[in-house]
Amino acid sequence: MTQENAMIEVAVCGAHMSGLPLNAQLTSLGGEFVKKAKTASTYKLFKLNGFMPARPGLLRVHAGGTAIALEVWRLPLIHYGAFVAGVPAPLGFGTLILEDETTVQGFLCEAYATEDAVDISALGGWREFLAGQSV
List the CATH code of the domain at 3-128.
3.10.490.10
Domain ranges of the chain: 3-128
- Cα separation, 91 vs 87, in Å, equals 6
Beta strands, E only, the chain: 7-12, 32-38, 43-47, 56-60, 69-76, 91-97, 103-109, 118-119
Contact 65, 44 (CB under 8 A): yes
pLDDT at 133: 87
pLDDT digits (tens, 9 = 90+) for 99-134: 999 999 999 999 999 999 999 999 999 999 999 986
pLDDT digits (tens, 9 = 90+) for 45-93: 999 999 999 999 999 999 999 999 999 999 999 999 999 999 999 999 9
Strands across the sheet with 103-109, in order? 32-38, 69-76, 7-12, 103-109, 91-97
pLDDT digits (tens, 9 = 90+) for 46-58: 999 999 999 999 9
- Cα separation, 125 vs 58, in Å, equals 10
- Cα separation, 132 vs 42, in Å, equals 24
The pTM for the full model equals 0.94
Helices (H) and strands (E) in the chain, counts: 3, 8
